[in-house]
Structure 1
Amino acid sequence: MVMAQSLFKSVKQQDPNAIIDVIGPAWSSPILERMPEVRNAITLKTGHGEWGIATRRQLGHSLRSEQYDQAIVLPRSWKSALVPFFAKVPKRIGYHGEQRYLLLNERRKLDKTILNQTVKRFVSLGVNKSEAYPPQNLPNPALTVDKGNQAALYQNHGLDSTRPAVAMMAGAEYGPAKQWPLAHFHELAERLIAQGYQVWILGGPKDIDDGNIIIKDLGPHAHNLCGKTQLVDAIDLLAAAELAVSNDSGLMHVAAAVGTKVHGIYGSTSEAFTPPLTDNKVIHNLHLQCSPCFKRTCPLEHTDCLNKLKPEQIIQSIQLDR
């Protein structure tokens, strides 16, 4: 969803009067509310992987009064094109996929050799075909920050306003092949605290145990905030951090979108496909012969692409910037 903001910004650049509403799951609304290009975040009340045809029909019918001129369908699934069809949007654009001949009336070829990044695929659908392969203008996401909420978070979580902060995102929702070892995160946190930083571990409830492992015995300047913050809170905390060290994850893209210096760690995935969309970044990737494999677990059972990426490399990179 963060990368989709590049599409929204591109549309507004082409037509400043464009009105953009975005349909997505409930969890995405806080992100969309921080995008000035978006008027409304419309919640699709279906679960992940659920067909929900009746729900999609009902939502589509309810949107007919909006009289949208155009719908851009980012996912390639059949079900994702149902709401614009039921809403009778006259121009419905998306990539070929799952035989959507009736649902879409402008179907484009997804040439992965040219549109080799997710952001290019998104923005490409918002420009004319003659300019789409690839689009030349890829505006970076830029989420707004709530300074009042930021100050409240410092107070509520006992954070030190006098120490620069490093945010760490160690979660691996996709699978362990994307997760830098927790022992490496722990060592990095220990060394950064010794250098005068405070460390915040950010993530959801599933990341609480990992966060506890990282901050164990590190003292009062290490904070495990996993499960203690909402998504909007993570946005504001990341904006307050001096640095963010992250696996290839959604929160990495949030950090990039609020202007924080991002140290992105890649192993089984590639920064060539999903880079943090900012110039203020450092990519850490050993580029081993076996990577990127894009697997959830290491097919060779060693995960050398991450295990052999040592904390010292991140430390040296951070020190060069100080």
Structure 2
Amino acid sequence: MNQPQHILIRLPNWLGDMVMSTAFVKAVAQQYPNATIDVIAKKGIDFLLEYFPKHHQRFIFNKEEYAGLTGAYKFGKQIRQQKKYDIFFCLPDSISSAVMAKAVNAKKRVGYKKELRSVLLTNAYAKKKGLHRVEEYADLLNQFINVEIKTPAVELKNSPTERKNAVIVNINSEASSRRLPAKKAVSIINTLRKNITEEIILVGSNKEIAFVDEVFNVLENKNNITNQAGKTNLNQLLTLLGSCNVMLTTDSGPAHVANALGTHTIVLFGAGNENNTAPYNKINRSIIRLGQLACEPCVNNICKVYGTPECLVRLDENVITQTVINVLKNKTND
């Protein structure tokens, strides 16, 4: 095909995945420097676009307003009426995103094979196993252009600011198999407080307020511990994540955000495979996994073996605390 003029990218639906797709957006821009690149983002995480690599037009997809496959088709058709696209890159694996691509009617509709998607896409490829999610996205472009490209860095734009030597703590996750049980979270924060003097800042979304409050209320020593759960909007949370030197977190969307903002991110892994979904920038991340159970790592959203995720319960508070201390020392010496 001729050099494309207009490219549309359907971004992933989850916060962490959307962060990881920044490398793909940059790679497309590098391959097609003269094309306009537009994006589709799900309502609710579209705030991330303010921190995204350079792009042109934004389409915000509200799944409640455009429900089901008919809604996805209607949304895509509305885009088609506004602009003609040469390429539609479909990053989610869902059938609805492929239906949206078909409705947009781009000349080339590019995505991975799954279920009935192949009949809706012009270029459907097999997903390679064992790749990190960032590299999975990049490999979609590799297969389309038939050229092996170097995967760009995963980055969110961060306004220059003097970082403070504080520790952000995120005990939450969408999946219970990745969320710290309350008793374990209390134990970790208590141990942390006994061993460091730096400010500890607890974070959480509005729906996580009750859980974070439950943990905060029974801490042995609340001195210099701030509970910010539900007290920051999304833009304020990003500012906070980008202004502190260290984040101690579960495997979750905020872990990817902090890592992409350049904050050293210490991730406690329960369910989930760090080889596929850990924050991508190795230079400012530390991974802590138990690695003693036959079921590790699993990808279940609930712990089917123990009920409560023992892979998190059995983590050593002293190992976690020492990792935080080491990172804080390194940041002080930078």
TM over 0.5: yes
Q: Are the equivalent residues in 2 in contact too, given 1:180–1:247 (CA < 8 A)? A: yes
Equivalent position to 2:54, from 37, 40, 56 = 37
> Shift in Å at residue 43 of structure 1?
1.0
Residues in 1 aligned to 2:272 and 2:119: alpha-carbon distance in whole angstroms: 35
Moved more, 41-50 or 292-301: 41-50
- String of CA shifts for 1:103-138, please: whole Å, max 9, x gaps: 21011112324xx22112111122345757xx5522
Q: Are the equivalent residues in 1 in contact too, given 2:204–2:228 (CA < 8 A)? A: yes
The change in CA–CA distance for 1:85 and 1:297 in structure 2 (over 3 A counts) is: closer
Opposite residue 255 of structure 1, the aligned amino acid is A
| Residues 1:250 and 2:253 aligned together | yes
Equivalent position to 1:141, from 154, 161, 165 = 154
Gap regions ≥5 residues in structure 2: 1-17, 330-334
Structure 2 partner of 1:235:
238
Structure 2 partner of 1:154:
none
Equivalent position to 2:139, from 124, 148, 171 = 124
Gap regions ≥5 residues in structure 1: 152-160
Residue 228 of structure 1 aligns to a residue whose secondary structure is coil
**TM-score using structure 1 length:** 0.85
Moved more, 225-234 or 280-289: 225-234
Residues in 2 aligned to 1:131 and 1:110: alpha-carbon distance in whole angstroms: 14
Opposite residue 22 of structure 2, the aligned amino acid is Q
**Percent identity at matched positions?**
25
Residues in 1 aligned to 2:57 and 2:168: alpha-carbon distance in whole angstroms: 30
Opposite residue 102 of structure 2, the aligned amino acid is F
- String of CA shifts for 1:277-307, please: whole Å, max 9, x gaps: 1121110011122211222222221532111
Residue 265 of structure 2 aligns to a residue whose secondary structure is strand
> Shift in Å at residue 193 of structure 1?
4.2
Structure 1 partner of 2:304:
299
Residues in 2 aligned to 1:52 and 1:225: alpha-carbon distance in whole angstroms: 38
The change in CA–CA distance for 1:48 and 1:252 in structure 2 (over 3 A counts) is: farther
> Shift in Å at residue 146 of structure 1?
4.8
The change in CA–CA distance for 1:131 and 1:241 in structure 2 (over 3 A counts) is: farther
Equivalent position to 2:121, from 98, 104, 118 = 104
Residues in 1 aligned to 2:71 and 2:58: alpha-carbon distance in whole angstroms: 20
Q: Are the equivalent residues in 2 in contact too, given 1:57–1:86 (CA < 8 A)? A: yes
Q: Are the equivalent residues in 1 in contact too, given 2:172–2:204 (CA < 8 A)? A: yes
Equivalent position to 1:76, from 88, 93, 111 = 93
Residue 283 of structure 1 aligns to a residue whose secondary structure is strand
Q: Are the equivalent residues in 2 in contact too, given 1:11–1:18 (CA < 8 A)? A: no
Q: Are the equivalent residues in 2 in contact too, given 1:60–1:84 (CA < 8 A)? A: no
Residues in 1 aligned to 2:172 and 2:44: alpha-carbon distance in whole angstroms: 17
Equivalent position to 1:15, from 32, 38, 43 = 32
Opposite residue 287 of structure 2, the aligned amino acid is I
Moved more, 39-48 or 95-104: 39-48
Structure 2 partner of 1:155:
none
The change in CA–CA distance for 1:90 and 1:129 in structure 2 (over 3 A counts) is: closer
Structure 2 partner of 1:215:
216
> Shift in Å at residue 258 of structure 1?
0.2
Structure 1 partner of 2:7:
none
Residues in 1 aligned to 2:68 and 2:179: alpha-carbon distance in whole angstroms: 31
Q: Are the equivalent residues in 2 in contact too, given 1:189–1:215 (CA < 8 A)? A: no
Q: Are the equivalent residues in 2 in contact too, given 1:76–1:98 (CA < 8 A)? A: no
The change in CA–CA distance for 1:191 and 1:197 in structure 2 (over 3 A counts) is: farther
> Shift in Å at residue 54 of structure 1?
4.3
Q: Are the equivalent residues in 2 in contact too, given 1:29–1:41 (CA < 8 A)? A: no
Residues in 1 aligned to 2:320 and 2:75: alpha-carbon distance in whole angstroms: 50
> Shift in Å at residue 241 of structure 1?
1.1
**TM-score using structure 2 length:** 0.83
Residues in 1 aligned to 2:122 and 2:230: alpha-carbon distance in whole angstroms: 43
| Residues 1:178 and 2:193 aligned together | no
Residues in 1 aligned to 2:126 and 2:173: alpha-carbon distance in whole angstroms: 31
Residue 27 of structure 1 aligns to a residue whose secondary structure is coil
Q: Are the equivalent residues in 2 in contact too, given 1:186–1:213 (CA < 8 A)? A: no
Residue 251 of structure 1 aligns to a residue whose secondary structure is helix
Residues in 2 aligned to 1:55 and 1:298: alpha-carbon distance in whole angstroms: 33
The change in CA–CA distance for 1:39 and 1:214 in structure 2 (over 3 A counts) is: farther
Residues in 2 aligned to 1:210 and 1:242: alpha-carbon distance in whole angstroms: 25
Residue 128 of structure 2 aligns to a residue whose secondary structure is coil
